[in-house]
């Protein structure tokens, strides 16, 4: 996997010619406070002949500095009450793009903030934004043989940051490849194989479930979604099971269910009016969890155990396709009436969560999460932001609030939604024939509480509803809907972001 390589730089002389760096990229709220008199003088001189200097990203001829190139990319509106650390990401992306276009291959980046607490991770966020800007699709890399744009990116005045950033970026790169690749190249089998290859010698426990009899027995809802795909060998479902165990006494255990719908046609409730385009990105949840496990395997945080299950399935159309009105018993023994075959993601997650629930019953301080590009409703509500919906146990423990605080600090803001009694009312089967109804028969984007009530379904269908506040084994569960944040740019074919990998990693390792 081609990715950027970050290097810590502490030598003040690194900004000068002959240091091994070939461009100096300044990311600053105030160029006069970059810390280098040479930069300030050049910027002041440049501003006299080009008013864009200090106002927009600019390249200055800089004899004596690294590569003779000085790139100034200003951070705008840092005093604005409603801005956050992403303004450093915006500036860094613009600056690093200018460096690439100018022909640099070893740029040195200096991030000069204003010391405000909300910008405490500005250097890290700026660096990671470069990885996002420079990522190229797997299909393009495989055809053209493209290599990384830079040999390395230096991070000035950074101490031991590069190791963690490179590991985070390795995970994000894996997640981008898995999410952003077309559905034949990244079929369920290919997704599983790509993960196995990425985890080789990682120390992770990896198991791939592919036998149809086992899948239908242990993952009945997932197998219903993939029923029509079984007829095509290259489209058949997979479940990837992963486990990371840190050194020392285990103090917390985290469980992740990742939605990996390789392609969503809508099934028998077929998507119309061009609605299928871009549905190869419906595997963003499983991709983000897969990337998270890669990062964990590289940084090896102590005292935690992390277990993940990725449900990889194609929601195909055909004579074997499952249909609305069917009643299917979940792994947890809950009889589910299918309300809409285009609400397939929650079915996949429910079986995964049921398996994780059983493991969590015997684990130390378990917390469970589902990560999915689940609903159009979350996009309608929050645009490009991730949303969390938590059960009462997680709410009491402040899980979503903590995630939101860390996500904001690291450039992955989260909106917090609340689970209410009306959400459980929505999944009552009116006929009484089934225990619960999977969904209504309309698009989530026009359904009241369309991204909240699926969390109620997940709790009931997985058996997690029996582990509430009054249970002898209470379990915190948080549903993470990334339908709005999994990609950026083009509405159908934008670049995968690997969200919420960074925030989840910080959440697990900050305790």
What amino acid positions are annotated as catalytic residues?
A: 271, 346
User: What CA–CA distance (Å, rounded) separates 300 from 306?
Assistant: 11
The rounded distance, in Å, linking the Cα atoms of 112 and 75 is 9
Q: What is the signed CA dihedral for 354, 355, 356, 360, rounded to 10 degrees?
A: 90
Which value, in Å, is the radius of gyration of the alpha carbons in the chain? 24
Side-chain-side CA neighbours of residue 316 (13 Å): 23
Cβ-based burial of 41 (10 A; exposed 0-12, middle 13-18, buried ≥19) = exposed
Do the Cβ atoms of 373 and 282 come closer than 8 Å?
yes
Tokens coding 45: 């001189």
Provide the 3-class DSSP secondary structure of residue 352. helix
**Is the CB of residue 481 less than 8 Å from the CB of residue 372?**
yes
What is the arrangement of strands in the sheet containing 335-337, beginning at the earlier edge strand?
327-329, 335-337, 436-437
Helix (H) or strand (E) holding 312: strand 304-315
**C-alpha closest to that of 453 among 314, 339, 326, 366:** 339
Taking the C-alpha atoms of residue 372 and residue 480, their distance in angstroms, rounded to an integer, is: 6
């Amino acid at each position: 996997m081609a990715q950027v390589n970050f290097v810590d730089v502490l030598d003040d002389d690194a900004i000068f010619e002959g240091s091994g760096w070939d461009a100096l990229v300044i990311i600053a709220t105030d160029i006069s406070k970059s810390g280098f008199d040479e930069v300030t003088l050049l910027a002041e001189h440049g501003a006299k002949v080009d008013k864009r200097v200090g106002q927009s990203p600019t390249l200055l001829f800089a004899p004596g500095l690294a590569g003779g190139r000085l790139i100034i990319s200003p951070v705008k509106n840092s005093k604005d009450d409603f801005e956050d650390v992403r303004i450093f990401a915006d500036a860094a992306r613009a600056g690093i793009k200018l460096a690439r276009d100018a022909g640099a291959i070893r740029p040195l980046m200096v991030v000069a903030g204003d010391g405000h607490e909300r910008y405490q991770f500005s250097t890290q966020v700026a660096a990671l934004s470069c990885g996002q800007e420079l990522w190229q699709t797997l299909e393009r890399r495989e055809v053209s043989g493209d290599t990384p744009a830079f040999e390395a990116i230096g991070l000035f005045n950074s101490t031991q940051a590069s190791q963690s950033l490179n590991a985070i970026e390795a995970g994000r790169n894996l997640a981008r490849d898995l999410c952003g690749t077309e559905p034949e190249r990244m079929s369920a089998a290919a997704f599983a194989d790509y993960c196995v290859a990425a985890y080789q010698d990682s120390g992770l426990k990896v198991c791939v479930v592919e036998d149809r009899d086992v899948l239908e027995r242990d993952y009945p809802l997932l197998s219903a979604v993939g029923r029509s795909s079984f007829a095509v060998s290259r489209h058949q479902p997979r479940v990837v099971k992963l486990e990371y165990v840190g050194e020392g006494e285990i103090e917390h255990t985290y469980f992740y269910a990742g939605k990996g719908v390789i392609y969503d046609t809508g099934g028998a409730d077929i998507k119309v009016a061009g609605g299928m385009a871009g549905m190869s990105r419906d595997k963003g949840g499983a991709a983000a969890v897969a990337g998270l496990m890669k990062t964990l395997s590289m940084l090896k945080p102590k005292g935690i155990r992390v277990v993940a299950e990725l449900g990889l399935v194609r929601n195909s159309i055909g004579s074997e396709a499952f249909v609305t009105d069917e009643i299917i018993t979940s792994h947890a023994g809950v009889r589910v009436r299918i309300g809409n075959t285009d609400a397939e993601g929650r079915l996949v997650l429910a079986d995964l969560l049921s398996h994780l629930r059983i493991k969590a019953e015997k684990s130390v301080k378990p917390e469970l999460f589902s990560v999915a590009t689940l609903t159009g409703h979350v996009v309608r509500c929050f645009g490009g932001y991730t949303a969390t919906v938590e059960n009462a146990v997680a709410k009491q423990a402040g899980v979503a609030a903590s995630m939101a605080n860390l996500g904001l600090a690291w450039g992955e803001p989260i909106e917090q939604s609340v689970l209410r009694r009306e959400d459980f009312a929505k999944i009552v089967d009116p006929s009484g024939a089934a225990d619960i109804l999977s969904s209504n028969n309309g698009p989530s984007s026009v359904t009241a509480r369309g991204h909240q009530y699926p969390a109620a379904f997940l709790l009931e269908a997985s058996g997690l509803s029996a582990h509430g506040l009054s249970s002898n084994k209470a379990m915190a569960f948080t549903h993470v809907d990334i339908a709005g944040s999994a990609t950026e740019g083009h509405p159908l074919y934008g670049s995968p972001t690997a969200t919420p990998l960074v925030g989840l990693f910080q959440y697990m390792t900050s305790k």
